[in-house]
Amino acid sequence: MNHLLGVKELSREAVTGILDRAQHWADRPGERSQALAGAFVANLFFEPSTRTRFSFEVAAKRLGADVLNFSAAASSTQKGESLYDTIKTLEAMGVGCAVIRHAENDALRKLAPRVGLRIINAGEGQREHPTQCLLDLLTMRQHFGGIDGLKVAIIGDIKHSRVARSDMWALAKFDTQVMISGPEKMMISGDEVPANVSIVPIDDAVAKADVVMMLRVQRERHQGPLYAEPTAYHMAYGLTKERERTMQRHAVIMHPAPINRGVEIDSDLVESERSLIQKQVANGVAVRMAVLENVFGGGKETWESCLKTVNM
Ligand code: CP
């Protein structure tokens, strides 16, 4: 693939192929390769990030690439330069891949067909966060030995979550049941709800699931206040200790993070035995190594031949 814009358009085989390669790297923590030696990868984050930005940087460096970090606040976007002109500028310098996080829903889909370098979606509006989704799937697959047959509860601010959308689309490619739950103003409805997804009360979702995935309230995407105060939210829609006790013995807790402790999840549960949250972060590097390799030709193509497609 030349770009990774979302998981919705990927086949089950493509998802499985990336997970297989990511597992290769997950089995070799710290191991480096020179597969992308000489390539430049630019990280352009127009929204805040800790996990995604740094794990892409670690991943690119472990593959031998040189990493350029873009600061939107210190860039010519402050003088009105568009995303397209920014990317064309990097392309002209020989940058082979741009890892982009952007607040607009269609920013990357509009951009990708117009540029020659590889585009990786590091979080696009409310639309998709494909590498977070792939690391979520890798974490589930490692823990349960497969994805087929899983019951996954995604709980919280579904409406404003690009992670929830990517996870729902990806899990639909497998034989899974997905339950979603959250406040009415943070839920999706009608055609927005994929066929494999059902809307259920939180207590049912927590009790039935193999995976309980809690989501942060995405206040930065709300048009106005959608919930009264954190403690009330925690009691109504959070993973409290009381709810955790109703989970199946084998069930696990996941969260894409960042976490608001005491709001969507009890602070003690973040580091509990059931929690795979740190494992998710660790898997982020392995998944991003696999994705970078893939957009640069999966090892079959050198980065120099990728650059032949760049419009210089
Ligand atoms: N999960 C995630 O995207 O985290 P960051 O915002 O820290 O990158």
Instruction: Evaluate if pTM is beyond 0.85.
Output: yes
Rounded distance between C-alpha atoms, residue 140 and residue 145, angstroms? 8
Lowest mean pLDDT among 29-38, 104-113, 166-175, 219-228: 219-228
Percent of the chain surpassing pLDDT 70:
94
Lowest mean pLDDT among 3-12, 175-184, 226-235: 226-235
Among the atoms of ligand 1, which is closest to the Cα of residue 50?
Answer: 7
| Predicted local distance difference test score (pLDDT) of residue 310 | 39
**What is the mean predicted confidence (pLDDT) over 28-45?**
97
Of the pLDDT bands very low, low, confident and very high (cuts 50, 70, 90), residue 301 is very low
Rounded distance between C-alpha atoms, residue 100 and residue 97, angstroms? 10
Among the atoms of ligand 1, which is closest to the Cα of residue 101?
Answer: 8
311 has a pLDDT exceeding 60: no
**What is the mean predicted confidence (pLDDT) over 284-290?**
98
Residue 231 carries which side chain, given as an amino acid letter? T
180 has a pLDDT exceeding 80: yes
Q: Is 181 in the pocket of ligand 1 (CB under 6 A)?
A: no
Q: Is 257 in the pocket of ligand 1 (CB under 6 A)?
A: yes
| Predicted local distance difference test score (pLDDT) of residue 26 | 98
CA of 81 to the centre of ligand 1 (A): 26
Q: Is 256 in the pocket of ligand 1 (CB under 6 A)?
A: yes
**What is the mean predicted confidence (pLDDT) over 158-162?**
96
Of the pLDDT bands very low, low, confident and very high (cuts 50, 70, 90), residue 229 is confident
Of the pLDDT bands very low, low, confident and very high (cuts 50, 70, 90), residue 103 is very high
| Predicted local distance difference test score (pLDDT) of residue 222 | 77
